[in-house]
Structure 1
Amino acid sequence: MSTNYPGDGLVRVGGVVFAVGAVATLITVVPLLVGADPLPTAAYLVSMLMGAGFLLAGCGLLRSMAAQRRSDRAAQSAQSSAPAGSFAR
């Protein structure tokens, strides 16, 4: 049984943004290792997406955790308020 929580989309988007930033970082480092001319500043700016993606995924993870805790607490309080002898589903 799979439940989608509010932060799941942020985690997915953060992963994609992180991957784009990681590829850009590899592309910008290669010319420095081979002795070629460095890439323009825009390439280094795209590399910063790696940190932004990590931040997005972290925020999505925290949001998803909070939603899951709220859901678990609501289920727990519903189960504890059920009358004796009845079965909570």
Structure 2
Amino acid sequence: MEDLLEFFAALLECIYHIIKCILTFLKWIMENIFNFFMVIGVLFCIVIAGSIVKFIFYSSFLVLVLSVCKYRKKIKRYLNEKGFFK
């Protein structure tokens, strides 16, 4: 009877170590995946933030140029009235 109990104790200890190793491996995998996605997320935010700023700058510059071209005659007439081109 004692031999049978020792056998089951050894079997349970073996199962315990296998489960412990599997859980340690899963923990390691999850940490690496989490770190990977955190790095990707931060890089994505940096790229998006940079491209949005660049897009806003270029679009506002384009609007400024287009509005100056559109109202060129009115601006020139206003400056002539004020005496800048005399």
> Normalization by structure 1: what TM-score?
0.47
Of Structure 1 and Structure 2, the greater helix share is in 2
Q: Which has the higher contact order (CA 8 A, sep 6+)?
A: 1
Q: Which of the pair has more CA radius of gyration?
A: 2
